Structure 1
Amino acid sequence: MTQLRAVGDAGSASPTGGDVVVDGSPVHVVQAGSGPGVLLLHGSGPGTTGWGAWRATAAALSGRFRVVVPDQAGFGATPIPGEGRAGRDVWVSQAAGVMAALGLGTYAVVGHSMGGAVALALAAAYPDRVSRVVAVSSMGAPAPLSPGLDALWSARPSRDAARSLLRLLFHDEVLVTEAAVDARLAAMTAGEAAYARLFPPPRERWADDLALDEPTLASVVAPVLLVHGQQDAVTPLEQTALRLRSLLPDARLETIPECGHVPAVEHPALFLRTVEGFLQP
């Protein structure tokens, strides 16, 4: 069952949002545009939502693509199915189920951080469906829990925590405005209950859950574009993107100087040119 409604302006995108039911559980999804399908998967910080993370990117891509932007389980308006927590298997299953329910048999996937690991796992599990992967500041390589990721996952709602989280995400502190802090704090507070179930300590196990083993990464047949900020403190370049490039059969890496964990926000024009060029070679 799919229920969609208009959700507000996104340039020329005319987005619609609502629930897509996957295995009996609702997944909140926003769609925009028409054309080949592109699934946008968000990362894992507290207060993260699909549309909040990808709004500008989705608006830009919607002129050429049909973009699908879900809240993954435990984030935004998508509940965690059943008891316990969500993890990689749930996120992969829901992503595949959403695209199948929307009638998109083949599609590209753009995933950020945690969403990059989910995108790679989705490509490994469904090689006949996933045509291309863009993995942005991506997890997915076997790697230890970084101090930055541990700090991101452990953040709880407060004004100081919201400010510290933004400073962790961005290399350019000009982006850490009072308005941005207000917005992040509001999002962290709204999503606190579900988020508390996702990454309880010890957190190394959740990094391990998002790491794909070498045979799985070697089985990804879709071309992969890795996009990574050179100053990323959450998923450090040497531990993640460089390792992924060496383990994936068909991957190239584009690094962005003077950039932290969120290239789509810090360098939006360069990010969009890079991604659009890859999605439409």
Structure 2
Amino acid sequence: MTTTLETPTTARTVTAAGIATTVHVLGDPATQPVVVLVHGSGPGVTAHANWRLTMPALAERFCVVAPDVVGFGSTERPEGFEYSMPAWTAHLVGVLDALGIERADVVGNSFGGGLAASLAVHHPERLRRLVLMGATVAPQRITPGLDAVWGYEPSVENMQALLELFAFDRAALGPDLARLRYEASIATGVQEAYSSMFPAPRQRALDAITQPVAAVATIGHPTLVVHGYDDRVIPVESSIALLGMLPDARLHVFGRCGHWTQIEHADAFNRLVLDFLSS
């Protein structure tokens, strides 16, 4: 498994909701069905780091679009920007608009699943199908794991501890990932933005990025819910609960898997998503 986090040649810059945004595009959104991949909220995360094993597989059938959400990665961090789910949702709509995408399938990981759900609730006409992976969709109690992720203070040791929290099998992390992610987390402006997104008390921060149960119940798009059974960041029970809220949902749970199903079980995850989106 590669651990490189270098930005590949698929990256381009577009202006989305007035923000200079880094987005990876594999394929042609004008001529192919589009799947949008929305990353999570771990420190030092980028679209490429989150989806590097997913993008090539999905690109066999789809145009793949994976943005660095505002506040993360190489996307602009506007001075004084107030990070909130409405602002993140407006930015994601801006990405679709900038690329001329009227409607897409959306895959959201963790925080990105919450953002995908917000898009489904507030802009349902922009989605066709939805994949929610270890997602922060509906109200839930914060775990010690998520509290640790959002309370990250930069050091290689702290990053290593978080990565071990994410993965069930530490061997999946590779020898250099902690250093690479740490370096990404201390790039200019990154930690300042990150620490402002999810301040303590972090239960309040989690509440602010989820949707009310009644709103979740309005998501009528066919939805695949995916979770790792051993997830210590977002508990599998949260995805089980989604089955009782979403009108058209199915659940797949990976055993011996933590919070990174798309990395720990990459081949199986890619097949699962491709089959769902192609059905």
TM-score (norm 2): 0.92
Kindly provide the CA deviation profile for residues 98-151 of structure 1, in whole angstroms up to 9, marking residues without a partner as x.
112211111000000000011011011122220000001111111011111001
Counterpart of 2:27? 33
Q: Shift in Å at residue 25 of structure 1? A: 1.9
RMSD value, Cα: 1.4
Q: Per the alignment, in what secondary structure is the counterpart of residue 153 of structure 2?
A: coil
Q: Is the 8 A contact 1:30 1:69 kept in 2?
A: yes
Q: Shift in Å at residue 85 of structure 1? A: 3.3
Alignment pair present for 1:123 and 2:120: yes
1:251 to 228, 249, 252: 249
Moved over 6 A (4+): none
1:139 to 113, 136, 141: 136
2:14 to 11, 17, 20: 20
Matched residue type, 2:93: A
Counterpart of 2:3? none
Counterpart of 1:71? 68
Aligned pairs (5 A) from 1:202-221: 202-221=201-220
Alignment pair present for 1:237 and 2:236: yes
Q: Per the alignment, in what secondary structure is the counterpart of residue 64 of structure 1?
A: coil
Counterpart of 1:12? none
Q: Is the 8 A contact 1:38 1:109 kept in 2?
A: yes
> Identical aligned pairs, as a percentage?
38
Q: Is the 8 A contact 1:19 1:27 kept in 2?
A: yes
Q: Shift in Å at residue 177 of structure 1? A: 3.4
Cα distance 1:82–1:182, how it changes in 2: closer, same or farther (>3 A)? closer
Q: Shift in Å at residue 48 of structure 1? A: 0.5
Matched residue type, 1:280: S
Q: Is the 8 A contact 2:134 2:226 kept in 1?
A: yes
Counterpart of 1:92? 89
Q: Is the 8 A contact 2:17 2:95 kept in 1?
A: no
Structure number with higher relative contact order (C-alpha < 8 Å, ≥ 6 residues apart)? 2
Counterpart of 1:224? 223
Q: Per the alignment, in what secondary structure is the counterpart of residue 109 of structure 1?
A: strand
Q: Which runs of 5+ in 1 are unaligned?
A: 1-6, 10-14
What is the CA–CA distance in structure 1 between the aligned matches of 2:22 and 2:8, rounded to whole Å?
Answer: 15
Q: Is the 8 A contact 1:46 1:156 kept in 2?
A: no
What is the CA–CA distance in structure 1 between the aligned matches of 2:82 and 2:75, rounded to whole Å?
Answer: 13
What is the CA–CA distance in structure 2 between the aligned matches of 1:166 and 1:98, rounded to whole Å?
Answer: 29
What is the CA–CA distance in structure 2 between the aligned matches of 1:176 and 1:109, rounded to whole Å?
Answer: 26
Q: Shift in Å at residue 22 of structure 1? A: 2.5
Q: Which runs of 5+ in 2 are unaligned?
A: 1-6
What is the CA–CA distance in structure 2 between the aligned matches of 1:80 and 1:203, rounded to whole Å?
Answer: 22
Kindly provide the CA deviation profile for residues 165-201 of structure 1, in whole angstroms up to 9, marking residues without a partner as x.
1111000011243312221211222232321221221
Counterpart of 2:8? 8
Matched residue type, 1:197: S
Q: How many residues align?
A: 268
